[in-house]
Amino acid sequence: MRTYRSPFERLRAKFDESDPECPACGYSDENTNWRVTTTGDRVTYQFVCPTCEAVETREMRLA
């Protein structure tokens, strides 16, 4: 039995499964997760690199 998931939920699940990687130094850790904040119609994924403090931000809009 399958549970219906909206396109957004699928996208979010895909995002949650992917590990963030630092664009500056390449740091990546499978134990590192995106910090997710939701504001109105958009969801922001943010990752702060623990080694060089570079900030990676991805934004998704809820259509």
| DSSP conformation class of 18 | S
Q: Which is nearer to Zn ion, 54 or 62 (CB)?
A: 54
- CA triple 22-41-5, angle to 5 deg: 80
Q: Which of residues 14-53 bind Zn ion (CB under 5 A)?
A: 22, 24-25, 27, 49, 51-52
The reply on whether position 55 binds Zn ion by CB under 5 A is no
Q: Determine the size of the site formed for Zn ion (CB under 5 A).
A: 8
Apex 31 CA angle, 20 and 36, nearest 5:
50
- CB nearer to Zn ion: pick between 10 and 23: 23
